[in-house]
Amino acid sequence: MSEKYPEEWKKLENNRMGGSAWSAATANFNESLKSGFFSTINDAKIDQFAKFKSFNLALMGLVIFAQLLLAFLQ
């Protein structure tokens, strides 16, 4: 996505707290998917990423629930 949207990606790398550029870009990209620039465009790759992110979150929740259930059953 950095090749297709270089100006927006540069904004995502803005890091005022002095951490790594990658972690700042990841956090800023997640926020942009919710309410920023990337939430307003119609791009198949971004839609696919958002769906994968939702699926991954649901899967991790299911795994945590299963582990807690197993812990309480024993």
For residues 34 and 52, state if they share a domain: no
Greatest Cα pair distance in the chain: 54
For residues 50 and 30, state if they share a domain: no
Specify the pLDDT at position 1: 63
Specify the pLDDT at position 61: 97
Quick check: pTM over 0.85? Answer: no
Cβ atoms of residues 38 and 46 within 8 Å: yes
For residues 37 and 65, state if they share a domain: no
For residues 10 and 37, state if they share a domain: yes
For residues 29 and 48, state if they share a domain: no
19 φ, ψ (degrees, to nearest 5): -85, -165
Range of the domain at 22: 1-41
pLDDT digit string (tens) for 17-61?
A: 666 666 667 777 888 888 788 888 888 888 888 889 889 999 999
For residues 22 and 47, state if they share a domain: no
For residues 18 and 31, state if they share a domain: yes
